[in-house]
Structure 1
């Protein structure tokens, strides 16, 4: 008898050095897309004998397309060489063009529609149903001219999305000030911003520069000038891009028979319908109204001590005065807080905390990457030493890099075929961090660990963060809670002397954080309303409509001559569905209720959460994943209780 030989486990990608990245990307993507066309041709002319075999071939197509698109999107947003970014955008376009062509292919659709699902397991049946839905949503049943127009729109929308991202990414503005105007800013900020030859200091709109100024600068004119520069990134270049984007999305949806883009987009989300979006936004706005008004009154009272005739707190002053309320009402010194959050310690603590929570460890690996700032780790399961995936952390700003915080896929994980690889792209200080940024880091890492833990299944279609898009933020929002726990923070947040952050200081931080949650939620509802109504109405004057929505939903008045939507990147990827952040938060608050605050690492509940919510990826509807974990459907109750406190 011949002994069976186990297949060789797949290896992570071997990335090129910076000098060969352009040719490497071209060759790798060309080979992958050629393989997709080959497989599609086989399905047309010589399909395999059974339904399961046909689905497996299509999943190979899915794996190749996802891997190519994810890799290209990442490099387009992070690579330091402009030529590589340009090549990556072209690669992403080629993958999208091919994907759309396949989804509109009548021969392929007929082959899948004719499959007999009898005997398929539930997951394979789910895959087949998703494939048929994809074909329909791409217009496969329309005439040739209509399909051609839909493909033209699809390609142009990707071009516009890339252009919108590029405009926001590359538009870094500066304010130059005399050093005496920097009073109130932390010592490490001053050290990293030396006086230049002309006697002035340059401050940019990148996060590590702008946010400390908003929080700490005593000079009101500096706060206003930098806030205005910050809110004008991308303007006016983004306006024609957004107008065309909104119009084309509307045309795409209505061509397929939907009343509007939001209805088309919501069909595959938990919310189910476009008309449910403004109803949900208004429900959140009403829940936030009373706590928002309560805290705004406190903020305004403090503001009037310096600006006696003010009716409302100015937008440019809101962060600064919130910190003053923290100090005076909660005895919280936020500059003292940040001395406990050295970046290197926070990064190490994040890995230790999430490793303990999810039963993994992170082994640092020395592999080729796109920039020297990037740190790479293999994710290894503690139970058996199996490598689950590889992660890359790219956490500091630089020219030409994505300006916000997000997780990018590098490769989807499929058992026996592909190692899950994800990249965390952020823009944090290299030195001391604000605690808000620590929370953001935990949040974004939640997406990364979801990508890896959910990348162990048999189907590329369901790998990683593949659930409905209005659920994907929930696991990350829940993970933020570990960045607030006193014992968790004490494990890595230490000052220069090595002393851990005191529990009483964390208690003050938590109490202060509760202040303002009502009006911060109002800000989120304003963003959600803007993303919906910009798509629904496609207003000729985006600024005028933005101002109206700020007055209706937002807690602060409009800052004259600003246009924040021009760099509001969620209008690209999230389109009309920014509501998802609050929808997900409703679920996150309910999920966290299953954990014991006295023992956030309890093995049973942490393992159950990992295995029932994260590991399945998109193999079940999100509502079912949550019910599997909670033992009941999720409710609004925990969110409402949190907001009302």
Structure 2
């Protein structure tokens, strides 16, 4: 089989065009077998355990498996179908089981522990110490010190959790795909920009229907909520969006949410931790749930007065404009947009012509070149999983190859919502060779139509910059070991490079590099740049409170014993109590589609977006002080953060870059909250 299975051949770039769906299962099965043999070789040796023959050997084991599984799960996110989802359900338990067998392998742990206990006598570099600590903790935090019966209990929990989070994601995707708002009368769509009507009309045609179709995918949903005058239709779409996987049908996630929360808690208890949050936060900059709650409450205290004032102004504005007595969630984006236009004479439709996707890509590349000395060259000979994917080779200022970059920008049926960065091949130094990474950005931006190129909203521009910041963390990675390379850092540090990158979207010097009118090539006018800057803090209080509410909901699920919770919605309402501005919508529930914490890696970690905002505001203040393209600051950031990955404690790296600890007031000042 390995003869004809492209995934089992030696390859550098993923051989997408040769991979057939039926190749995945046997390839993963075979790669698990190879990985088991590699582990067997480490434990079978008679030699005394050393850093090289145990820790480094363990680090390099399972490489085939992580590449094959990485390709498969990336495809499951970006280009999935029923068959691939079915395979994901089958192979996830195999991977969980393999992972458990590895981390509960007594002979292997004994060797790792031997090296760990001897660590003071070994002459290790900082990076080697971090690697040793990481591998030792991987065992101890996954039950290596447990008795046999408890190890078995842990295996069962992990197996079930792997399946549940997959099903959770599949249900949300199915709910997103199955809903459509079909409108045949154009008069009902007053307020929607021509470009949105065009998109909706093209979608209807594709589905063989008259009129217009709107969906729950962001490029369709967000403009509708922002511009559609028809309040009833906005309500209909908003309720459908908020009711995803909360409809007591086959796609309902309520039971799954309860099961996941309870199993995570059980697992943490088994490992000697009070709650799942205590377990997770031991490996974060924040260190404890108390510290996180304190951080969220302190932020809330400073942001809430501003949020309440903004909400009151918005409610008064809606009443004055349309006689709306009570502001509902489906009014939020619409009246915010109207008020924003009134205050700043600025709307997305005015800005979009200056943000043609190709120009924005060119701009982000140019900014990366100015800051970090790298340049991008589009190449057409790299295998891709879809025609729409673009591929680039990246070189440093000396012309040395740095990385391969895949970019995939538009929504498709088989692609989950949102935007993310992912890696197809990790950076590492092996056998004296620095193996360079293959990095990918996946987004869901408005498609070009037959009449217009893809024009981005300003929000989409910041999203592109954000994900590209993550990509830079991968591209510039320069560690010895792949598990410490690039974005392999604490979760509350991982958002720093991405959120920092967004700052350039608001700066005149940066915008003038790429924001040009797609028809006239005119550079974005200064007054529009001024308006973008002024409006940057528009409703910042409400935005901050919203982010804090998600962090609090996450902690409500993970920082206390969930055993007695039996009503998902009721629990959620209690968590939102301190942050609520809008009336509740009974048909809606956030938890059942909160993929970040029930499907992604953000459980007990959602606070890290705000946490990283503090870091990024403080870091960008340094750039502002020295100039936004300051070579001195950019070099410090590149050398102490981007290239270093997870080789040292993040606070140590940050202080080395900044010369001091981050100051939370930098964020509040930037947001205009103090």
TM class by smaller structure: over 0.9
In the TM superposition, what is the alpha-carbon distance from 1:354 to its structure 2 partner?
2.1
Aligned residues: 632
Equivalent residue, structure 1, for 2:182: 176
Normalised by the length of structure 1, the TM-score is: 0.93
After TM superposition, the structure 1 = structure 2 runs for residues 256-267 of structure 1, keeping only pairs within 5 Å, are 256-267=271-282
In the TM superposition, what is the alpha-carbon distance from 1:110 to its structure 2 partner?
0.8
In the TM superposition, what is the alpha-carbon distance from 1:362 to its structure 2 partner?
1.6
**Structure 1 unaligned regions, length at least 5:** 1-9
Check if 1:452 corresponds to 2:480: no
Query: SS at the partner of 1:297?
Result: helix
Normalised by the length of structure 2, the TM-score is: 0.89
Equivalent residue, structure 1, for 2:415: 401
In the TM superposition, what is the alpha-carbon distance from 1:103 to its structure 2 partner?
0.9
In the TM superposition, what is the alpha-carbon distance from 1:11 to its structure 2 partner?
7.2
Contact kept? 1:47, 1:54, Cα under 8 Å? no
In the TM superposition, what is the alpha-carbon distance from 1:417 to its structure 2 partner?
6.4
Within 2, Cα distance between the matches of 1:28 and 1:515? 51
The 3 A distance-change label for structure 1 pair 346 and 355 is same
Check if 1:553 corresponds to 2:568: no
Check if 1:290 corresponds to 2:305: yes
Bigger Cα displacement from structure 2, 557-566 vs 388-397: 557-566
Query: In structure 2, which of residues 440, 452, 456 is the aligned counterpart of residue 423 of structure 1?
Result: 440
Q: Deviations over 1:230-254 (max 9, x none)?
A: 1122224111111111111011001
Contact kept? 2:466, 2:498, Cα under 8 Å? yes
Equivalent residue, structure 1, for 2:195: 188
Equivalent residue, structure 2, for 1:4: none
The 3 A distance-change label for structure 1 pair 69 and 396 is same
The 3 A distance-change label for structure 1 pair 489 and 12 is farther
After TM superposition, the structure 1 = structure 2 runs for residues 428-443 of structure 1, keeping only pairs within 5 Å, are 428-430=445-447, 431-443=454-466
Within 1, Cα distance between the matches of 2:504 and 2:554? 30
Bigger Cα displacement from structure 2, 465-474 vs 343-352: 343-352
Within 2, Cα distance between the matches of 1:490 and 1:556? 39
After TM superposition, the structure 1 = structure 2 runs for residues 560-571 of structure 1, keeping only pairs within 5 Å, are 560-571=586-597
Q: Deviations over 1:254-288 (max 9, x none)?
A: 11111111111111111111232222221111121
Within 2, Cα distance between the matches of 1:170 and 1:385? 46
In the TM superposition, what is the alpha-carbon distance from 1:613 to its structure 2 partner?
0.7
Within 2, Cα distance between the matches of 1:309 and 1:185? 20
Equivalent residue, structure 2, for 1:107: 107
Equivalent residue, structure 2, for 1:5: none
Q: Considering only aligned residues, what root-mean-square deviation do their CA atoms show, in Å?
A: 2.1
In the TM superposition, what is the alpha-carbon distance from 1:179 to its structure 2 partner?
1.6
Contact kept? 1:522, 1:555, Cα under 8 Å? no
Query: SS at the partner of 1:408?
Result: strand
After TM superposition, the structure 1 = structure 2 runs for residues 118-157 of structure 1, keeping only pairs within 5 Å, are 118-157=122-161
Within 1, Cα distance between the matches of 2:504 and 2:467? 13
**Structure 2 unaligned regions, length at least 5:** 1-9, 448-453
Query: In structure 1, which of residues 459, 469, 490 is the aligned counterpart of residue 491 of structure 2?
Result: 469
Within 2, Cα distance between the matches of 1:489 and 1:428? 19
Within 1, Cα distance between the matches of 2:377 and 2:216? 35
Q: Deviations over 1:59-78 (max 9, x none)?
A: 10264454344333212212
Within 2, Cα distance between the matches of 1:341 and 1:599? 24
Within 1, Cα distance between the matches of 2:26 and 2:47? 29
Check if 1:509 corresponds to 2:513: no
Equivalent residue, structure 2, for 1:82: 82
Equivalent residue, structure 2, for 1:325: 339
Within 1, Cα distance between the matches of 2:167 and 2:372? 38
In the TM superposition, what is the alpha-carbon distance from 1:26 to its structure 2 partner?
3.9
In the TM superposition, what is the alpha-carbon distance from 1:438 to its structure 2 partner?
0.6
Within 2, Cα distance between the matches of 1:633 and 1:568? 32
Q: Deviations over 1:70-123 (max 9, x none)?
A: 333212212244323443554454333212211111111111111233122232
After TM superposition, the structure 1 = structure 2 runs for residues 492-641 of structure 1, keeping only pairs within 5 Å, are 492-495=514-517, 496-535=519-558, 536-538=560-562, 539-572=565-598, 573-596=601-624, 599-641=627-669
The 3 A distance-change label for structure 1 pair 468 and 511 is same
Contact kept? 1:123, 1:619, Cα under 8 Å? yes
Within 1, Cα distance between the matches of 2:483 and 2:458? 36
Q: Deviations over 1:569-615 (max 9, x none)?
A: 11222112211111111111111111036832222211211111110
